[in-house]
Amino acid sequence: MKKSVQVLAMMAVGLALSSGVACSKLQARDQLNKGVQSYKNAKYEEAIDHFQKAVSLDPALLNARLYLATAYAQQYIPGADTEDNNRMGQQAIEEYKSVLDHKPAREQKINSTKGIAYLYLQMKKFEDAKSYYRKAVDLDPNDPESYYSVAVIDWTQAYQPRMEERAKLGMKPEEPLKDKKVCTMLRDRNSDVIKDGIGMLDKALQLRADYDDAMAYMNLLYRERADVQCDDPAARAADLKTADEWVDKTMATKKIKAEKQPGVQGITMDQPK
């Protein structure tokens, strides 16, 4: 009899615990729904509070973690180098990483990886950003935007030091680099990122043939390569010609897209038969 009472008592405790867990999960979902509503109304601080409560009530509710990260990211202001702003960006990154640590579904994993990459890019932590965009490529190799994002970072990493060196030499934008020591130094430093950027844009354009932003950066990367063709004027001229061709392709693609937009077709006259 005593043993039966003990078993019943343990069952009661188990049921109570189970009921408590179920109640916490329901409360977490309620907080998540309230947070989503606040987020949609652009009440981000209020949304963050709801999402934090949802995560506290149910740490396994990954949608709450993902929304919390997104709400933090929405509050982050790129370029504003303040303690509060930097903390907001870092909190977003940590929440995205927390999602990744909890074995998320594929879409959650992709969104979190891209979220981290984007925030690192805005923080100008270029190598970290490239690392996560490459992870996004591995997760979703059919998304042209991740390839494009890596290429944009490649161009930035090549362009900035080159322009700094040109400014030191007092050069005009259209002048070729005549200082062979500086040109060789930039070529050694930039060649790999330029090659990587062109390769990434090639893949982006294979996936999206009318990707005009990718075409525009293809032009820019060929101009980067042209300027470090230190001892080969013919190669420089060929790269500049290719860059100009990409400008033409970009403009033509933009024009075609504009013509396809509703309301821009104009008046069509009947043709004589």
Q: Where are the domains of the chain?
A: 27-124, 141-255
pLDDT tens digits for range 221-246 = 999 999 999 989 999 999 999 999 99
Closest CA to 95 of 76, 74, 115, 77: 115
pLDDT tens digits for range 48-80 = 999 999 989 998 899 999 999 999 999 999 999
How far is residue 179 CA from its own chain's centroid? 37
Task: Name which of 44-48, 121-125, 157-161, 220-224 the model is least confident about.
Answer: 44-48
Q: What band does 207 get if pLDDT is binned at 50, 70 and 90?
A: very high
Please compute Rg for the chain using Cα positions.
27
So what's the pLDDT on residue 183? 95
So what's the pLDDT on residue 9? 47
Q: What band does 2 get if pLDDT is binned at 50, 70 and 90?
A: low
Closest CA to 108 of 61, 164, 41: 61
Could you give the residue ranges of the DSSP H alpha helices within the chain? 2-40, 44-57, 62-75, 83-101, 106-122, 126-139, 144-168, 180-207, 212-227, 233-260
So what's the pLDDT on residue 263? 61
List Cα–Cα distances, 219 to 97, 108, 139, 269, in angstroms.
Answer: 35, 34, 28, 38
Separation of alpha carbons 122 and 43, rounded Å: 23
Separation of alpha carbons 208 and 231, rounded Å: 36
So what's the pLDDT on residue 33? 93
State whether the Cα torsion 52-54-57-62 is positive or negative: negative
Burial of 257: CB neighbours in 10 Å, binned 0-12, 13-18, 19+: exposed
27-124 topology per CATH? 1.25.40
